[in-house]
Amino acid sequence: MDMALKVKVGGMEDVELSEPVSPTGQYFNSSVLCVSVIGVLEFDNPIDDSSSIALINDVFLPINTRFSSIMVEDKDGEKHWKRVEVKGEDHIVVPRFPEGLSPESYDQYFNDYLSKIAMDSLPQTRPLWEIHIVKYPTSNASGSLVFKLHHALGDGFSLMGALLSCLQRADNPSLPLTFPSFQKAPKPDNEIKSLISIVPHAFSSALNTVLDFGWSILKSSFLEDSRTPIRSGEEGVEFRPINIMTMTFSLDKIKQIKSILQVTINDVVTGMIFLGTRLYMEATSEEARNARSTALVLLNTRSIGGYKSVDEMVQNQEAQIQWGNKFGFLHVSIPELHQYERSLDPLKFVHEARDIIKRKRNSSAVYLTGKLLEFVRRYRGPEATAEYIHSTLKNSSMTVSNMIGPLEKMTLANQPVKGLYFMVVNIPQSLTVTMMSYMDQLRVAVGTEKDLIDPVKFKNCTEQAFSMMFNVAVKSK
């Protein structure tokens, strides 16, 4: 339920503030952190933007009041969302590139443009989002729609749910989009817990909690990863230009590996990313191939099993409660690259990544980290908490995040959507990897610090890792 109050802001007359900014929202819009999410929709055909203002007013803005609010401070220094009048045209940007170039030439213009808007700050004087309509064809699409939304508005789950609520099924707009079910990997009979195993399981969970929470504090405080081909370790990485490139993998092949290994899809793709990262580090510097490197694997902490429709987001109180930034992260050491991974059994990377993440899930470290952040906020303020989160990101090497997309082809205002992906920007890391499924494909987006990481080489190493894993898995059947 929104909280409304009257306060005096900046010497102005009393204004109505709709709701307080959540603690996490304050962390992500502070003097230390200013994090945004970029979402890209790719279209089969040239974009017709004639209905863009109507879509903003009738569909996008009603999803959540934060899309029509700005962040302000009251006299006590507390931040609130203040409702303002939104002019859609102020939030739409249509870039101009040279005319008559080939799609391959426009690839570079588009990538440079993404890098530019990733570095540009969203004006604090208007709601924290923008839409960029790129009408030039690239190798991937006839036109692209780029959403930039401040992370203070919500996390990737909330923001992607908002974007998906603006879309319809191509085959039947009257039907809702559907998403893959959340299914855990099947357990062999000998792994089914019995009453006898409860005590050792509880002891293991407690031990893991102590170890993981302690290591998390060390990593966030002063224990930095090594400087490697994927981590410059420099100050101000979040303000440097980035490259954003994508690659596509067959979900059918990923499911084949999943079934053969009796693991989850997340286990397969995480193992692929970790193996590809180590292969890149080896190809760039033999000495650094097994240097200390940690990934932050983001977890959705909601109790719901899928996105909410636009009607549910607007009308359903539970959906509104689930809106916002509700995630945790696991510190996961990237498995080391040994000779057997490269030439004999790359699937060991999947198993090792799965075992590490499974062990860390079998603890309450994420919960305790959330309590720690709340403690720091209460006694030292949101800026100090933002500094702690900044240090957590800076001291690690990469962030890995994934979301589930719809099974059916989508349209926006009757325009078919060919693909979609997202990227988190303005974070103090040299490497960010995000993944999103759509129809029968998995789209992997990689954000890399310019002049440090070669995006083409990284892509080749990741594709090589997947090819190695698939070939070995199929042969092992």
SS3 labels along the chain: CCCCEEEECCCCCEEEEEEECCHHHHHCECCCCECEEEEEEEECCCCCCCCHHHHHHHHHHHHCHHHHEEEEECCCCCEEEEECCCCHHHHEECCCCCCCCCHHHHHHHHHHHHHHHHHCCCCCCCCCEEEEEECCCCCCCCEEEEEEEEHHHCCHHHHHHHHHHCCEECCCCCCCCCCCCCCCCCCCHHHCCCHHHHHHHHHHHHHHHHHHHHHHHHHHHCCCCCCECCECCCCCHHHCCEEEEEEEEEHHHHHHHHHHHCCCHHHHHHHHHHHHHHHHHHHHCHHHCCCCCEEEEEEECCCCCCCCCHHHHHHCHHHHHHCCCCEEEEEEECCCCCHHHHHCCCHHHHHHHHHHHHHHHCCCHHHHHHHHHHHHHHHHCHHHHHHHHHHHHHHCCEEEEEECCCCCCEEECCEEEEEEEEEEECCCCCEEEEEEEECCEEEEEEEEECCCCCHHHHHHHHHHHHHHHHHHHHHCC
What's the rounded Cα separation, in Å, for the pair 44 and 144? 9
| Nearby residues of 366 by Cβ (< 8 Å), 6 or more positions away | 299, 301, 328, 329, 330
Below-70 pLDDT ranges, the chain: 1-18, 156-157, 159-160, 181-205, 208, 299-328, 339-344
Q: What integer pLDDT is reported at residue 125 of this predicted model?
A: 93
Q: What integer pLDDT is reported at residue 196 of this predicted model?
A: 55
Tokens describing residue 183: 């299914």
Q: What integer pLDDT is reported at residue 328 of this predicted model?
A: 66
Q: What integer pLDDT is reported at residue 181 of this predicted model?
A: 66
Count CB-CB contacts under 10 A for residue 354: 19
Q: What integer pLDDT is reported at residue 201 of this predicted model?
A: 57
pTM: 0.86
Q: What integer pLDDT is reported at residue 252 of this predicted model?
A: 93
222-267 per-position pLDDT tens digit: 889 999 999 999 999 999 999 999 999 999 999 999 999 888 888 8
Q: What integer pLDDT is reported at residue 300 of this predicted model?
A: 57
Residues paired with 16 in a beta bridge: 6
| Nearby residues of 62 by Cβ (< 8 Å), 6 or more positions away | 310, 314
Q: What integer pLDDT is reported at residue 71 of this predicted model?
A: 92
Q: What integer pLDDT is reported at residue 15 of this predicted model?
A: 46
Q: What integer pLDDT is reported at residue 283 of this predicted model?
A: 93
Q: Report whether 294 contacts 331 (CB < 8 A).
A: yes
Domains of the chain, CATH where assigned: 189-407+429-475 (3.30.559.30)
Q: What integer pLDDT is reported at residue 360 of this predicted model?
A: 73
Q: Which residue has the tokens 């926006």?
A: 412
C-alpha distances in angstroms, 237 versus 33, 291, 349, 413, 450? 12, 20, 29, 38, 10
Amino acid at 76: D
